[in-house]
Amino acid sequence: MKLIPLPAFADNYIWMLHDGRQALVVDPGEAQPVLAALQREGLQLDSILVTHHHADHTGGVAALRKATGAQVYGPATEAIPEPLTRLTGGETCAALGLAFRVLDVPGHTAGHIAFYCAEMDGAPLLFCGDTLFSAGCGRLFEGTPAQMLASLDSLAALPDPTRVCCTHEYTLSNLTFALAVEPGNADLQQHHIFCQQLRAEGLPTLPSTMALERRINPFLRSRVPAVIAAATAHDADMARDTGTFATLRQWKNIYR
Ligand code: ZN
Ligand code: FE
């Protein structure tokens, strides 16, 4: 199996997985990069997985279905171009001969789902849309901080070697914020240098791994004393009233 991030728009990735004959894509915000990759690699599109309704994740779905006849899988409660198989979380979705467990991860949007495959070529695989980013998390457009924290906790419980396939290349700016929260975190300092090198060469910083995210992502670390202290130093009243996670999310929204 090959796992390829297809760049789209300014900073999206459309993840493509293929076995040399059949392919699946996740969150195709536009059709053209997918059609070009199918043509280039001589592939048939078998399925399209959709994590949430935002246009930068769904804009290419209708055109790709029309061009390829691919099966579409998406969240039960969101507006996604029909026809599709609607998933609520808890079920298994079979695509490309792999079993993906569907995870209900509300917060960025109310019906956001993620797709987890326990084993693909020796390691687990997670397509998490805009819920978890490397060193960051999605904005809370339709959910509460408590919902998002519970969603991120459920992702953080996945095994260490899980490959984390996020939909945006936001890693460098997320790392800048993460370093403002935890300037003394050596893993974070090291990963920042590594990602600066990758980006200077035009390479993606993804996929990440869950083991790495637990060490560098402030939104998975809201119970770590240094992170609690940083949120309190940023806004003691907010940290006391709304908690560390909500304070971090609010701080990130205004951080430049
Ligand atoms: Zn989104
Ligand atoms: Fe997005």
Tens digit of each residue's pLDDT (9 = 90 or more) over 192-225: 999 999 999 999 999 999 999 999 999 999 999 9
Looking at the structure of the chain, the number of domains it has is 1
Distance from Cα 110 to the centre of ligand 2, integer Å: 14
Say if residue 64's pLDDT is above 90: yes
Domain span holding position 222: 2-254
Instruction: Decide if 108 is catalytic.
Output: yes
Given 54, 112, 191, 192, the catalytic residue: 54
Confidence of residue 162 (pLDDT cuts 50, 70, 90): very high
Find the ligand nearest to 12 CA.
2
Q: What percent of the chain has pLDDT over 70?
A: 100
Give 124 Cα–ligand 1 centroid separation in angstroms.
Answer: 23
Q: How confident is the model at residue 186 (pLDDT cuts 50, 70, 90)?
A: very high
Looking at the CA of 27, which ligand is closest? 2
Taking 90 as the threshold, does the pLDDT of residue 248 lie above it? Answer: yes
Told to judge if 57 belongs to the known catalytic residues of this protein, a careful annotator would answer yes
Mean pLDDT across the chain: 98
Of the residues 18, 27, 53, 108, which is catalytic? 108
Q: Which residue in the list 18, 52, 192, 234 is annotated as catalytic?
A: 52
Catalytic residue from among 104, 130, 192, 234? 130
| pLDDT tier at 172, thresholds 50, 70, 90 | very high
pLDDT for 179 equals: 98
Q: What distance in angstroms lies between residue 27's CA and the mean position of ligand 2's atoms? A: 9
Q: What is the pLDDT of residues 80-108, one digit of tens each?
A: 999 999 999 999 999 999 999 999 999 99
Determine the distance separating the centroid of ligand 2 and the alpha carbon of 55, expressed in angstroms: 8
Closest ligand to C-alpha of residue 56 is 2
52 is a catalytic site residue = yes
Q: Name the closest ligand to CA 29.
A: 2
The pLDDT score that the predictor gives to residue 177 is 98
- Which member of 56, 112, 191, 234 is catalytic? 56
Q: Output the pLDDT for position 256.
A: 87
What's the average model confidence in pLDDT over 12-21?
98
The secondary structure of the chain, three-state, reads CEEEEEEECCCEEEEEEECCCEEEEECCCCCHHHHHHHHHHCCEEEEEECCCCCHHHHCCHHHHHHHHCCEEEEECCCCCCCCCEEECCCCEEEECCEEEEEEECCCCCCCCEEEEEEEECCEEEEEEECCEECCEECCCCCCCHHHHHHHHHHHHCCCCCCEEEECECCHHHHHHHHHHHCCCCHHHHHHHHHHHHHHHCCCCCCCEEHHHHHHHCHHHCCCCHHHHHHHHHHCHHHHHHHCHHHHHHHHHHHCC
Identify the CATH number of the domain in which residue 32 sits. Answer: 3.60.15.10
- Is 18 a known active-site residue? no
Confidence band for 22, pLDDT divided at 50, 70 and 90: very high
With 90 as the cut, is the pLDDT of residue 21 above it?
yes
State the distance from the centre of ligand 2 to the C-alpha of 67, rounded, in angstroms.
Answer: 24
